[in-house]
Structure 1
Amino acid sequence: MLPSHRGARAAALAPVRTGLFRTVLPTVLALLALGVGTAPAHADTVLSEQWHLTRMQAQEMWRTSTGAGVTVALVDTRVREVPELSGRLLPGKDFRGGAAGERNDRGTTAASVIAGTGKGPGGQESAFGLAPGAKVLPLEISDGQGTGNAAAQGDAINTGLAPALRYAADSDAKIISVSLSASSDTDEVRAAVDYARSKGKLIFAAVGESLIDAPLVQYPAATPGVVGVSAVGKDLNGLRKAGAGLAVDLSAPGEDIISACAGSTGLCRSEGTAVATALASASAALIWSEHPAWTANQVLRVMVGTAGGPTSGAVRNDFIGYGIVRPRIALKTPGDPGAADRDPIADYRTASPTPRPSASASASVPQEPSGGAGSGPAQGAPAVAASDGGHSGAFWLALAVGAAGLLCVGVAVPPLLADRRRARPAGLSRP
């Protein structure tokens, strides 16, 4: 775990803080009267460093749902029993089946992103998952690393994927989250997806990453019946290296995600579509826990209907799909879940993906949307905050700048907070 900076450092900052509070308090009270929020009370906790949970307003959601009563079957590499997952893991199963590839513990990260309890070694504060009340059923498969070309790697993944999906289908898990991706699927994998769907399971899979300029969606995200999940960054634009195409259905945060892991520090930073898929799956767990009578189709319809969609006004695009998951909105105002037996995801898998935007376009500043729940961020287009119920990142930035001007401490306060916050992430390792 990372060292604490509370002791002598807190004492040294006490006089400065006292003076700041005497100067700032009247203005802060005035801002509160206008509806402007303040920073979390415990700004030096690991939770405060988990930007995706702050942006998604997880603590507000947890007053309604923590995912209790819902199990997520995680198809990934090995999951270690780290303290943050105490009481969250069910007995898992190994489906590597002799497939080539180096065994690793990256599945621990995805499991922690889903259901981390926030309690580290000795009960000290640590990282939370989005659905800390959910259970995780770890199903290990090979990631095919070190096997050579993409085809060999895909073969190693698919060797375990089909039986893992069938096992999950026969389990009590409602949600199946697949972190790994291959360049193709197989008849066995497609049949296993159909079987899991027939059992009422909701399947999410990472669309994968690529170093080429126009990456395509990989499998099983591109397999019919599977919800393909892409990733967005802190600017809420799609990650450039994430897969793009008509099989992208939803997106979730996938940059600088702090979570518990099996690394030497116990905390890691992660990025990519695998952690985004874990967050999409956790979002579904929050919703299903609150509405246990709903079917997979109804949960998915609400997720799509409340997602922060493209700001262009399109129903979807090839970079974020229908939009960024917004479980807080889904819990607060889910809308009509629709027919229990009707899949809400249209079949977009027969057309070509749209062109990848330029680097300058993808870095554009988020703007205020013109629509409601269906408006949101897109790769290469202005983005909408995935958790603010309609206000964009620029909206909150404007409020922050205005508040800083009123407080007249724009120089003094940020360095003090940043100094404490940098201490924790500096020691994080990558899984």
Structure 2
Amino acid sequence: MKAGQIWQHSTGKGVTVAVLDTGVDDSTPELRGQVLEGKDYSHDAKGADIDTDGHGTEMAALIAGRGGADGVQGLAPGVKVLPVRVRTGKEIIGDGTPALLRAIRYAIQRGARIINLSETITGYLTKGAKKRLKTGIDEINSSGSLIFAGTGNDGASSNIPGYPSILAGAVGVGAVDKSGTVAKFSTHGPQVALAAPGEGIPGRCKTGNGWCEQTGTSHATALSSASAALIWSAHPKWTANQVLRVMMQTASKPKGKVPSEYIGYGIIRPAQVLLDGKGDPGPADVNPLFPKYQPGKASSASPSSPAKGDAPSGAADTDSKSPASSATGGDDGSDNTLVYAGIGVAAALVIGGGAYALIRRRRRA
């Protein structure tokens, strides 16, 4: 991702990313000074800075961690994180959608330009619960913010599409491995808009000291949110639609038809925008992923064909939902490796100046 070069142009400064998750431990070394005062909407409200699970803190560190000898280096270290606690662990007790809707509204009121939701709901939802989620997504889009939502980790099993990534207005994010190929666990389907590295991501071990290898579309979502923040910080006058459009245009495209059911419009490449000046922001008021989308009105639950000029260069303007090849190919045939190599550099920075070992204990998030 050429992070070091990108930071000479943008660190994400001036952009607030709301992390709707298990809370964010602001005492974590790499997050000191990075986390705003947030709010706790979980069933066991103890404060947005309480994170007994660790998931929310992991996402915040990937987005805005400042590294150092004992910390994770995030992709957008200039970002301010707004912690909004919506759950205490991996399981949501009861219907969590009322809390999620309140959390979304709070994030909007606090001025979050990007909302990171590294989770997906695949269980039974009532009509009321679905309506609340749709209302939340619509309000995010009406406010001019972006929401990135993980598609889930059931790709190798049930592959059940989850909420809210399947809703119009949400940017569904899938995960790729070190080779730039869709990760086996990454839930696929027409809800996938973009993809990012989500396998072999360094993070703090949940028990004991040291670093553990983590896995999940959660991490891919956090890296997508960070990428959007980098772009928005460099182009503060752009709208959410324009930021998303250039991300789609400059993504490392899948082989075959675009979008692919596995990596959508491709793997995020913020350096293409920030270093090479690529991407046409286009119209400010047209959603490039859902051209006919009008927040608050009934619309398709899956991404529509892009409007003319919105598709990545060389991509087919098609509404086909048939699976494309899971392998990906960059414009020059090599950028997929570079995308993950950038994360490899971040992994080295994670360890800072020390010589810690990365424990290969995988965690799916």
Determine if the TM-score, normalized by the shorter chain, exceeds 0.5: yes
Whole-Å separation in 1 of the counterparts to 2:137 and 2:40 = 19
For 1:85-164, list aligned pairs within 5 A. 85-98=31-44, 104-119=53-68, 124=69, 126-142=71-87, 145=90, 153=92, 155-164=94-103
Show structure 2 runs of 5+ residues with no match. Answer: 46-50, 293-298, 304-311, 317-322, 339-353
Q: CA deviation at 1:390?
A: 2.7
Whether 2:260 is the aligned partner of 1:317: answer yes
Query: Structure 2 vs 1, CA of residues 372 and 226 (structure 1 numbering), >3 Å: closer, same or farther?
Result: closer
Whole-Å separation in 1 of the counterparts to 2:35 and 2:238 = 24
Q: CA deviation at 1:428?
A: 7.4
1:426 corresponds to which of 329, 351, 359: 359
* Aligned residue in 1 for 2:186: 242
Q: Is contact 1:239-1:379 (8 Å) kept?
A: no
Whole-Å separation in 2 of the counterparts to 1:248 and 1:67 = 25
Which residue identity lines up with residue 358 of structure 2 in the other structure? P
Q: CA deviation at 1:394?
A: 9.2
Whether 2:274 is the aligned partner of 1:274: answer no
Show structure 1 runs of 5+ residues with no match. Answer: 1-55, 147-152, 353-370, 397-420
Query: Structure 2 vs 1, CA of residues 262 and 240 (structure 1 numbering), >3 Å: closer, same or farther?
Result: closer
Whole-Å separation in 2 of the counterparts to 1:211 and 1:393 = 24
Q: Is contact 1:143-1:156 (8 Å) kept?
A: no
For 1:337-352, list aligned pairs within 5 A. 337-346=281-290
TM-score by length of 1: 0.66
Which residue identity lines up with residue 117 of structure 1 in the other structure? R
Query: Structure 2 vs 1, CA of residues 394 and 302 (structure 1 numbering), >3 Å: closer, same or farther?
Result: closer
Identical residues among aligned pairs (%): 40
Deviation track 1:377-422 (CA, whole Å, cap 9, x = no partner) reads x97443236xxx63427998xxxxxxxxxxxxxxxxxxxxxxxx99
Deviation track 1:239-288 (CA, whole Å, cap 9, x = no partner) reads 11211111110110000111357653264421111110000000000000
Whole-Å separation in 2 of the counterparts to 1:92 and 1:423 = 32
Q: Is contact 2:38-2:82 (8 Å) kept?
A: yes
Query: Structure 2 vs 1, CA of residues 79 and 308 (structure 1 numbering), >3 Å: closer, same or farther?
Result: same
* Aligned residue in 2 for 1:68: 13
Q: Is contact 2:154-2:185 (8 Å) kept?
A: yes
Query: Which has the larger share of helix?
Result: 1
Matched residue SS, 1:84:
helix
Q: Is contact 2:180-2:337 (8 Å) kept?
A: no
Q: CA deviation at 1:191?
A: 0.9
Q: Is contact 1:238-1:379 (8 Å) kept?
A: no
Which residue identity lines up with residue 152 of structure 2 in the other structure? G
Which residue identity lines up with residue 244 of structure 1 in the other structure? H
Which residue identity lines up with residue 83 of structure 2 in the other structure? P
* Aligned residue in 2 for 1:168: 107
Query: Structure 2 vs 1, CA of residues 350 and 395 (structure 1 numbering), >3 Å: closer, same or farther?
Result: closer
Whole-Å separation in 2 of the counterparts to 1:187 and 1:113 = 31
Query: Structure 2 vs 1, CA of residues 423 and 137 (structure 1 numbering), >3 Å: closer, same or farther?
Result: closer
Whether 2:25 is the aligned partner of 1:80: answer yes
Q: Could you say which structure has the greater relative contact order, defined with CA pairs below 8 angstroms and 6 or more residues apart?
A: 2
Q: Is contact 2:40-2:84 (8 Å) kept?
A: yes
For 1:172-191, list aligned pairs within 5 A. 172-183=111-122, 184=125, 186-191=130-135
Q: Is contact 2:175-2:183 (8 Å) kept?
A: yes
TM-score by length of 2: 0.78
Q: Is contact 2:200-2:214 (8 Å) kept?
A: yes
Q: CA deviation at 1:103?
A: 5.0
Whole-Å separation in 2 of the counterparts to 1:395 and 1:342 = 32
For 1:398-417, list aligned pairs within 5 A. none
Which protein is bigger by CA-based radius of gyration? Answer: 1
Matched residue SS, 1:334:
coil
* Aligned residue in 2 for 1:15: none
Query: Structure 2 vs 1, CA of residues 257 and 305 (structure 1 numbering), >3 Å: closer, same or farther?
Result: same
Q: CA deviation at 1:127?
A: 2.3
Query: Which is worse superposed, 268-277 or 124-133?
Result: 124-133
Q: Is contact 2:168-2:302 (8 Å) kept?
A: no
* Aligned residue in 2 for 1:24: none
Query: Structure 2 vs 1, CA of residues 329 and 218 (structure 1 numbering), >3 Å: closer, same or farther?
Result: same
Whole-Å separation in 2 of the counterparts to 1:218 and 1:315 = 21
1:228 corresponds to which of 172, 181, 198: 172
Which residue identity lines up with residue 117 of structure 2 in the other structure? V
Whole-Å separation in 1 of the counterparts to 2:170 and 2:260 = 17
Q: Is contact 1:306-1:374 (8 Å) kept?
A: no
Q: CA deviation at 1:85?
A: 0.5
Q: CA deviation at 1:70?
A: 0.6
Which residue identity lines up with residue 59 of structure 1 in the other structure? G
Which residue identity lines up with residue 271 of structure 1 in the other structure? T
